[in-house]
Amino acid sequence: MSGGAQNLVELRQLSKRFESRRGLFGKPRAMTAVDDVTLGIPKGRVTGVVGESGCGKSTLARLVLRLLEASSGEVVFDGMPLGQLSGGALRKLRRRMQMVFQDPYSAIDPRYNMADALLEPHRIQGIRLSRADARTVVGELLGMVGLGPQIAASFPHQLSGGQRQRIGIARALALKPDFLVLDEPTASLDVSIQAQIIALLEQLRSELGLTYLFISHDLGLVRYFCDRIVVMYLGRVVEVLPQPHAAPRHHYTRALLDSNFVPDPKRRRTIRRLTGEIPSAFDLPPGCAFAARCPRADATCRAIRPDLTQTADGHAAACHHPL
Amino acid sequence: MALLTVENLGIDIHGIRPLDGVSFSVDKGEILGIVGESGSGKSLTALSVIGLLPLIGGRILRGSIRFDGIDLATLPEAEFRRLRGRRIAFITQNPMTSLDPVMRIGAQIDQVSMLHLGLDARAAQARSIEIMAQLRIPEAATIYHHFPHQLSGGMKQRIVIAMALAADPDLIIADEPTTALDVTIQAQIVDLLVELVRERDVALILITHDMGVVAQTCDRVVVLYAGRVAESDAVAAIFERPRHPYTRALIGCIPRDETAHGNLTGIPGAVPSVAHYPAGCRFHPRCPRRGAPCDHIVPVSAAMDGGLFACHFPENSGVAR
């Protein structure tokens, strides 16, 4: 499915439902944030998940690391089904999989200096370090993310956004993981800093042989950074592009591409408006969730939900009338 | 004479000087992009033009802001009020902060034309619904009676645009109008703004951090860095032959289809804060072309082929480095 590479992580029919009620006495209603996602994440590669708000990409990220319990389905990490592990065994396995969050400021305790923040993973795992070892670990981690040793004594509010995200990455690397889930790691950064962080992630991946799951709303960035792209819409995978520049088959992926602002005034997009808005995940239509906005939608699309069908080249799309 | 001409603008906020010598102009039917990263002074430039600096304790130190023959830099607040909302409209980044959460949407749009155009309630309602329909708000007459929380982010931003248009302004300043929106909705709103400018012949200042949005929409561009204009020029020139190294670097930060792996490197360092502006050219600590004068001599703005740039060692201009 992924060009011969072995899968480090496999998601099997993974779903997550949330329930809520409208007001205090309202009827309870359910929404399916992640709906029946089956996906392999190949070792040593970058798998991108792209979609707009409400598509379930951040919920998926949390399910993969079992920070959220799935409603059904399972996550298999290096052959081990996470759902069947005990708390202790799961914690041990967590050394091998870490997450980098969008907002490094809220991910770091404001009272910790950076040395404390970087040593927190060791503390949680019960790994005792001598003072000299701790200093070495902190120095190495800072060096890996391009920060100088003087940063160790500073507090989060003294750092710039880019420096804080470097700390977020360093902390994720502290226990020498194999797998990183990157949830919009550059979304709150300026473009010049975003590009620095992406370059750093590229370098770390090749040096340490890491596997990434990269979550983003920015298709341009995903197409640059990822080896393979998963497009989500309202909780479901609608397309899997086996190469980042493969031509889209799903109309939603096409619309995402058309909505991308190419930084070249000679290639101005003709205004091809995608009408309509993303429907609420609480009352999804029975057929294809994209039907209401799709230029090709017909009666079949509104009645029957298309399955994700894969062709020989690993390209998969869930569409009755693929491009 | 352009509709709006800003010359050599400098401001003071509680003793700090975040803008220094900012100049640009924009005419009717034209889209001017003001682009820069956070801390470059984009939003302060907008606040200066619409006379809202006093709200944040700021004042204009020097320079002029000429709008259709009026100097806004020295205009008394009482007179400014007749201009703001009427001839100069402002669209902010977060539509939620521009709308009153406990007031129906229609009434909020009506207010503008009642206040500025002197319409009665009935005429104002008809006008509001008409503008909403022009902005492709479905079932405008129904939505008119809704409250803001009943609408999506994209719809709310359309309402804010409808309010901006209600008094038929000559100049619209939009400060990151799509940053909080999803990408497909962002594209809809940007397309809508471009159409408005062409159809209604208004001037639009589009403030953004996104070089992609600039390339796709603007006629001319001002690149701000740390409170100064690094470069300004026609959009084609900015992308084809940037002269300021910061302009080139900023464009290089956005991946394109043809960007090969490893070629996205960013700009080393970070945008300095206003309290720590470096001497000389403020970009010099991050600049790949810096030379002897850059760390102590402020480069003066030079004009060439209709563009302006402030650099000791500009690219694409015959100056050797």
Are B254 and A196 in contact (CB < 8 Å)?
Answer: no
Q: pLDDT category, A222, cuts 50, 70, 90?
A: very high
Which of A8-12, A255-259, B38-42: highest mean pLDDT?
A8-12
Q: Please write the tens of the pLDDT for every residue from B17-40.
A: 999 999 999 999 999 999 999 889
Domains, chain B: 4-223 (3.40.50.300), 231-309 (no CATH)
- The residues with which B16 forms a beta bridge, in sequence order, are B13
Q: Which residues of B touch A220 (CB under 8 A)?
A: 212, 254-256
Are B256 and A263 in contact (CB < 8 Å)?
Answer: yes
Higher-confidence residue of B171 and B191: namely: B171
Region A9-25: mean pLDDT is 86
Cα separation, B164 vs B135, whole angstroms: 12
Residues recorded for chain A: 323
Region A33-46: mean pLDDT is 95
Residue pair A248/A241 in contact (Cβ under 8 Å)? The answer is yes
Region A196-209: mean pLDDT is 94
Residue-level pLDDT at A293: 87
Mean pLDDT, all residues of chain B? 92
Lowest mean pLDDT among A136-145, A285-294, B22-31, B69-78: A285-294
Token pair for B128: 């509001």
For A202, the closest chain B residue by CA position comes to B262
Q: Please write the tens of the pLDDT for every residue from A153-175.
A: 999 888 888 899 999 999 999 99
Asked if the model's pLDDT at residue A270 lies above 80, the reply is no
Region A291-300: mean pLDDT is 90
Residue-level pLDDT at A271: 60
Cα separation, B127 vs B131, whole angstroms: 6
Q: Please write the tens of the pLDDT for every residue from A47-74.
A: 999 998 888 999 999 999 999 999 999 9
Element (H, E) at B140: helix B140-143
Q: Which residue has the tokens 């979304």?
A: A187
Q: Are strands B22-26 and B88-91 parallel, antiparallel or unpaired?
A: unpaired
Query: Radius of gyration of chain B from Cα atoms?
Result: 21
Asked if the model's pLDDT at residue A315 lies above 80, the reply is yes
Asked if the model's pLDDT at residue A3 lies above 50, the reply is no
Residue-level pLDDT at A246: 93
Cα separation, A284 vs A57, whole angstroms: 17
Region B279-305: mean pLDDT is 94
Pick among A45, A197, A218, A224 to test the B interface (most B CBs inside 10 A): A224
Q: pLDDT category, A2, cuts 50, 70, 90?
A: very low
Cα separation, A255 vs A178, whole angstroms: 34
Domains, chain A: 7-96+177-317 (3.40.50.300)
Q: Which residues of B touch A225 (CB under 8 A)?
A: 255
Region A97-112: mean pLDDT is 85
Element (H, E) at A100: strand A97-100
Cα separation, B315 vs B321, whole angstroms: 9
Q: pLDDT category, A1, cuts 50, 70, 90?
A: very low
Q: pLDDT category, A4, cuts 50, 70, 90?
A: low
Mark residue A229 as left, alpha or beta (left: phi above 0; alpha: psi -120 to 50; beta: remaining).
beta
Cα separation, A61 vs A53, whole angstroms: 14
Cα separation, B74 vs B82, whole angstroms: 15
Q: pLDDT category, B181, cuts 50, 70, 90?
A: confident
Angle (CA) B95-B100-B106 rounded to 5° is 90
Region A121-148: mean pLDDT is 92
Identify the CA nearest to A166 among candidates A212, A112, A117: A117
Q: pLDDT category, A144, cuts 50, 70, 90?
A: very high
Query: DSSP for A101-122?
Result: -S-HHHHS-TTS-HHHHHHHHH
Q: Which residues of B touch A161 (CB under 8 A)?
A: 270
Residue-level pLDDT at A272: 62
Q: Which residues of A touch B209 (CB under 8 A)?
A: 190-191
- The residues with which B191 forms a beta bridge, in sequence order, are none
Q: Is the dihedral of CA A275, A276, A281, A283 positive or negative?
A: negative
Are A199 and B267 in contact (CB < 8 Å)?
Answer: no
Asked if the model's pLDDT at residue A11 lies above 50, the reply is yes
Residue pair B73/B51 in contact (Cβ under 8 Å)? The answer is no
What share of chain B has pLDDT > 90, as a percent? 75
Interface size A-B, in CB pairs within 8 Å, comes to 127
Instruction: State whether residue A219 is helix, strand or coil.
Output: helix
